[in-house]
Amino acid sequence: MPDVPTTTTFLAEARADAGLLRYKRFERWIEGALALIFPPRCAGCGRVDTHWCPRCQREIDAVPFVRSLHHFESLSACAATGIHEFRLQDAVHALKYEHAVAVAEPLAHRLARCVYEMGWEFDLIAPVPLHEERLRSRGYNQAEKLATALGDILSIPCHPYALRRIRNTSSQVGLNHIQRQENVADAFVAQEEGLQGLRLLLIDDVYTTGATMDACARAAQAAGTRAVYALTVTAARA
């Protein structure tokens, strides 16, 4: 027997939809009211009434791409939209630590331009995942915000949960290359189905030694991807 929805189900769904609509309207009203009291400020220069201003955008657009980062066998190619300094660093910092999620979109436009110039071809986009505990404390995964916005710009599907971080690794700050590799080894798993034969683009905010990207790419390969590209907004100066 096919699963035919009853009148009761329709009514319940309609009520749920109406509830959601009311909630969305309320959410927009609250957002509008908050914006009046606390107008947004540019995460780069502090100018009022915008999350990211055209002048800061022009500054980051002038930064040259970092076209070839450290080579890993697990990665077909790896690039960043610039060195981790000046305005790009401000933007990443705001996105990651100051809840400035609106900055993900202008940064994603930059990621899109970089992908286009690199000539990479891929079928799916996935962010480098955060461990659940880190996700709960921050409230969002900055890499996911970037990856989702990039997927929308390129019209390529983004799968936020293609990879999972199963071990809550300690911070990579202050560790050398070997220590970083050991710190993230086996920290990631890819979902078992749906990645077979695909070309995957991994997205993260900052590239330091590539240990995280390498560990993610290995997990994706174990799930059958045929190519993995890696792109970050910034790369630490080598």
Q: Which is nearer to Zn ion, 39 or 157 (CB)?
A: 39
Binding region for Zn ion (CB under 5 A) out of 33-41, 54-62, 172-180, 215-223: 54-62
Token pair of 140 as six digits:
């969002």
Which of 14, 45, 114, 132 binds Zn ion (CB under 5 A)? It is 45
Q: Fill in the amino acid letter for 50.
A: T
In sequence order, the β-bridge partners of residue 189 are 164
Question: What's the alpha-carbon Rg for the chain, to the nearest Å?
Answer: 20
CB 146 → Zn ion: shortest distance, Å?
A: 19
Instruction: Indicate whether 44 belongs to the interface with Zn ion (CB under 5 A).
Output: yes
Q: DSSP characters for 13-48?
A: HHHHHHHHHHHHHHHHHHHHHHHHHS--B-TTT--B
Instruction: Indicate whether 100 belongs to the interface with Zn ion (CB under 5 A).
Output: no
CB 49 → Zn ion: shortest distance, Å?
A: 11
Instruction: Please check whether residue 44 is in contact with residue 53, taking contact to mean a CB–CB distance below 8 angstroms.
Output: yes
Instruction: Indicate whether 102 belongs to the interface with Zn ion (CB under 5 A).
Output: no
Instruction: Indicate whether 56 belongs to the interface with Zn ion (CB under 5 A).
Output: yes
Binding region for Zn ion (CB under 5 A) out of 21-29, 35-43, 161-169, 214-222: 35-43
Instruction: Indicate whether 129 belongs to the interface with Zn ion (CB under 5 A).
Output: no
Instruction: Indicate whether 106 belongs to the interface with Zn ion (CB under 5 A).
Output: no
In sequence order, the β-bridge partners of residue 164 are 189
Token pair of 108 as six digits:
């994603």
Q: Which is nearer to Zn ion, 53 or 201 (CB)?
A: 53
Label residue 235 exposed, middle or buried (CB < 10 Å: 0-12, 13-18, 19+): buried
Binding region for Zn ion (CB under 5 A) out of 14-22, 41-49, 163-171, 178-186: 41-49
Residues 6+ apart with CB under 8 A from 91: 43, 44, 52, 56, 60, 103, 106, 107, 233
Instruction: Indicate whether 236 belongs to the interface with Zn ion (CB under 5 A).
Output: no
Instruction: Indicate whether 53 belongs to the interface with Zn ion (CB under 5 A).
Output: yes
Binding site for Zn ion (CB under 5 A): 42, 44-45, 47, 53, 56
